[in-house]
C-alpha cells in the first residue's frame, strides 16, 4: 500500500468520510497502480466504516490484489459484496425464516 488515508469532506448535506487508497502490483512483469478498494463501495460513508478500511490496509503493508484475468490493469483489494448488500441479504434471510416458521406453525 502506498496510500491509505481517511478523507473528510463537508458540504450542505453534512460531513462525510471516504477512505482513499493507492497500491501497486505486477502481472507478467508489468507494474500497475490502482486506487480501487472494491467495485461498489458501501452506501454509507460512516466514519467508523471508512476508518476500518484504512486500518485494514495501512501504508507499507503487502496486500492481496484481485486482478481481472482479461484485463490485468483492473485490480481491486476486495471483491466481496459491500456491507450494505450483506445487510440486505441477511435481512431477507431472516424474513424468510420468520415466514416459513409462520406457515409451518401458524396454521
Q: Is 19 inside a domain boundary?
A: yes
Residue-range definition of the domain harbouring residue 70: 3-81
Q: Is 91 inside a domain boundary?
A: no
Q: Report the pLDDT value the prediction gives residue 51, as an integer from 0 to 100.
A: 84
Q: Is 105 inside a domain boundary?
A: no
Return the higher-pLDDT residue of 34 and 107: 34
The answer to whether the pTM exceeds 0.85 is no
Q: How is the chain split among helix, strand and coil, in percent rounded to 5?
A: 30, 35, 35
- Does 40 have pLDDT greater than 60? no
CB-count exposure of residue 73 (10 Å: 0-12, 13-18, 19+): exposed
- Does 102 have pLDDT greater than 70? yes
Q: Is 36 inside a domain boundary?
A: yes
By the 8 A CB rule, do 76 and 39 touch? yes
Q: Report the pLDDT value the prediction gives residue 48, as an integer from 0 to 100.
A: 82
Q: Is 72 inside a domain boundary?
A: yes
Q: Is 29 inside a domain boundary?
A: yes
Q: Is 100 inside a domain boundary?
A: no
- Does 30 have pLDDT greater than 90? yes
- Does 42 have pLDDT greater than 70? no
Give the tens place of pLDDT for each residue, 52-97: 888 888 899 888 888 888 999 988 887 565 566 667 878 899 999 9
Q: How many domains does the chain have?
A: 1
Amino acid at each position: 500500500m502506498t496510500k491509505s488515508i481517511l478523507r473528510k469532506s463537508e458540504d450542505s448535506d453534512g460531513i462525510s468520510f471516504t477512505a482513499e487508497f493507492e497500491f501497486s502490483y505486477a502481472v507478467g512483469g508489468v507494474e500497475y497502480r490502482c486506487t480501487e478498494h472494491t467495485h461498489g463501495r458501501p452506501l454509507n460513508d460512516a466514519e467508523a466504516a471508512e476508518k476500518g478500511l484504512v486500518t485494514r490496509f495501512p501504508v507499507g503493508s503487502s496486500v492481496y490484489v484481485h486482478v481481472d484475468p482479461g484485463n490485468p490493469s483492473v485490480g481491486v483489494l476486495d471483491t466481496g459484496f459491500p456491507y450494505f448488500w450483506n445487510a440486505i441479504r441477511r435481512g431477507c434471510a431472516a424474513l424468510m425464516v420468520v415466514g416459513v416458521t409462520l406457515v409451518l406453525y401458524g396454521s
